[in-house]
């Protein structure tokens, strides 16, 4: 069985985001797995989740919740492209002041040095505007994730606000996400 990552995410270096996967250092090839059995009949026991008011709850009807105080929860629910069907995403990644896009399409460019470690998907459309990088991707329920990257260069030293990127479904704008904003500092080279 292929090993699965214990965490997946993106490492953001300046304006380039790289996919990252963390794997356990030990394998489970020799692991022993047990099932719960009824002591007398040796039949496998079935686990059921129950709501005090509604009775048995199906797994598909459950969400995760973090208890912030007694009987008050923050509900965490996730949606993946498999639940959304097919469509088109648009990514808008604003540049901080003091930066400009040098190479907007690393998926088809040559002469970018050895970037073989960087795995990106080919966008349907790319725009390298003066203030932001914009790309669109078609997706289907078979592809839950996609990656893109571009190269920027610093044009002036200073400390700048790093605006968050936005990803949204072009035809269902209520389906959108924003990355967190931050700060970036550019220092002049030392002679």
Q: CA-CA distance, 156 to 154, in Å (whole number)?
A: 6
**Strand 151-154 and strand 64-69: pairing?**
unpaired
CATH class of this structure's domain 82-186: mainly beta
Query: Nearest Cα to 148, choosing from 86, 101, 111?
Result: 101
Question: Looking at residue 139, what is its pLDDT?
Answer: 77
What is the pLDDT confidence band of residue 111, given thresholds at 50, 70 and 90?
very low
pLDDT digits 0-9 by tens, 22-64: 777 666 666 677 888 888 888 888 888 888 888 888 877 776 6
Q: Which residues contact 98 (CB under 8 A, 6 or more apart)?
A: 154, 155, 156, 157, 158, 160, 186
pTM exceeding 0.75: no
Find tokens 């953001």 and name the residue. 12
Question: Looking at residue 102, what is its pLDDT?
Answer: 76
Question: Looking at residue 20, what is its pLDDT?
Answer: 78
Running DSSP on this structure, what letter comes out for residue 8?
A: E
Helices vs strands, H then E, count in the chain: 1, 15
């Amino acid at each position: 069985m292929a090993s699965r990552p214990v965490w997946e995410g993106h490492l953001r270096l300046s304006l380039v985001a790289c996919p990252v996967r963390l794997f356990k250092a030990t394998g489970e090839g020799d692991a022993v797995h047990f099932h719960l059995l009824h002591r007398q009949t040796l039949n496998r026991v079935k686990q059921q989740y129950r709501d005090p008011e509604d009775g048995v709850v199906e797994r598909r009807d459950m969400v995760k919740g973090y208890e912030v105080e007694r009987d008050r929860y923050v509900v965490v629910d996730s949606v993946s492209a498999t639940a959304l069907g097919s469509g088109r995403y648009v990514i808008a990644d604003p540049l901080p002041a003091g930066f400009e896009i040098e190479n907007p399409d690393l998926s088809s460019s040559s002469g970018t040095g050895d970037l073989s470690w960087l795995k990106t998907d080919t966008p349907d459309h790319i725009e390298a505007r003066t203030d932001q990088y914009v790309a669109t991707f078609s997706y289907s329920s078979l592809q839950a994730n996609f990656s893109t990257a571009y190269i920027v260069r610093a044009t002036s030293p200073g400390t700048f606000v790093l605006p968050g990127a936005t990803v949204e479904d072009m035809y269902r704008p209520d389906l959108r996400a924003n990355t967190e904003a931050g700060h970036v500092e550019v220092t002049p080279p030392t002679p």
